[in-house]
Amino acid sequence: MAARRQSCLGIDFGGTNTRWGLVTPDGRITARASHKTNSDAAPAAELERLAGALKAFIKEQDADVCAAGMGICGFIDFEKQNLIVSPNMPAWNDVEVARILGGHLGMPCVFDNDLHMSALGESAYGAAKGVRDFAAINLGTGVGGALFLNGGIHRGARGITGEIGHLPLDPQNGPPCGCGRNGCLEAFVGRDGILELYRFLCDDGGTEPKARGQQELCRLASAGDKFALGAYAMAGEYLGRGLAILANLLNPSLLVIGGGVAKTGGPLLDPARKALKLYALPAVMEDLELKLSRLGDDAGILGAAHAARLMRD
């Protein structure tokens, strides 16, 4: 029981930066740090470097840490605690991340897909606290999701669940998707997909596009630019259809929306809510709430620390 009063280390291993924090049992991050990820490094070297940084951090904080958890983007065999492949780390295949990192740190270590960790964070400390069935949707460069069903992460046959970005919404006429198909949800709602919709609408209206990135587009929409608003409205309609599909299959009581693109707010989410209501069965809508992530960028750190605690308890 002593472990419950100790902090856990939560690590969010990203393709650009790796961030970590000390998390108390009640979900407060009492100290945090980060370093640049070396995405070209071999797994052994990068994990040893990370362990060195973490050990220095723990020493500096004079912290009593009982376990560590880490989220990383990729396909993971959770039971074997094996990273099969990660899009951010091309040299990492079949890596027993938790065993290696835990060995360096001298403490139990658990790792999981980053979206699973974020969903766990929202479940333990955020927008989904106490909710038995929910989906956490991440809107960023890609569009991904994690399913939390019957009180736990749904992993399916090999952990590739919640792939809402690759729902074939308009495979005949839709734009190309990074997965090689056409008209997937991500091709409309991913960062590049929305910008492409915007450029298409500008072109159609005989106007030169003013935004080149997502943040510029978001500012234009806030200022009432009709092409930016039109692009978000179209993307939101597709997002809402995807959410309705998820809802009609799984009857969750909550959808938690997070990620950089979700920060757009109303211009994207109002049309999404409208389409969700239109396409979800009325009986499914009755119990369904849609909320923004409450933990934002800290969901991964908090969820990873929570996973570490669950493993220890």
- AA identity, residue 203: D
Residues in the chain, total: 313
Q: Which is nearer to a second copy, 126 or 162 (CB)?
A: 162
162 interacts with a second copy by CB under 8 A: yes
Binding letters toward a second copy, positions 96-135, x by CB under 8 A: -------------------------------------x--
Stretch binding a second copy (CB under 8 A), from 10-18, 30-38, 153-161, 203-211: 153-161
- Between residue 222 and residue 261, which ones bind a second copy under the rule CB under 8 A? 241, 244-246, 248-253
**Under rule CB under 8 A, residue 147 binds a second copy:** yes
Both tokens of 131, joined, read 């909710």
Instruction: Decide whether 161 or 214 has the Cβ nearer to a second copy.
Output: 161
Binding mask 272-301 for a second copy (x = CB under 8 A): ------xx-x-xx-xxx-------------
Cβ neighbors of 211 (< 8 A, separation 6 or more) are: 195, 198, 217, 219, 220, 228
Contacts 24+ apart (CB under 8 A), 226-229: 227/198, 227/201, 227/202, 228/198, 228/267, 229/267
Read off the DSSP letter of residue 183: S
The answer to whether 208 and 190 have CB atoms below 8 angstroms apart is no
Query: How near is the Cβ of 116 to a second copy at its closest, in Å?
Result: 13
User: How far apart are the C-alpha atoms of 22 and 10, rounded to whole Å?
Assistant: 6
| Three-class secondary structure of residue 293 per DSSP | coil
Residues that bind a second copy (CB under 8 A): 75, 133, 145, 147, 149-150, 152, 154-164, 166-168, 171, 179, 181, 241, 244-246, 248-253, 278-279, 281, 283-284, 286-288
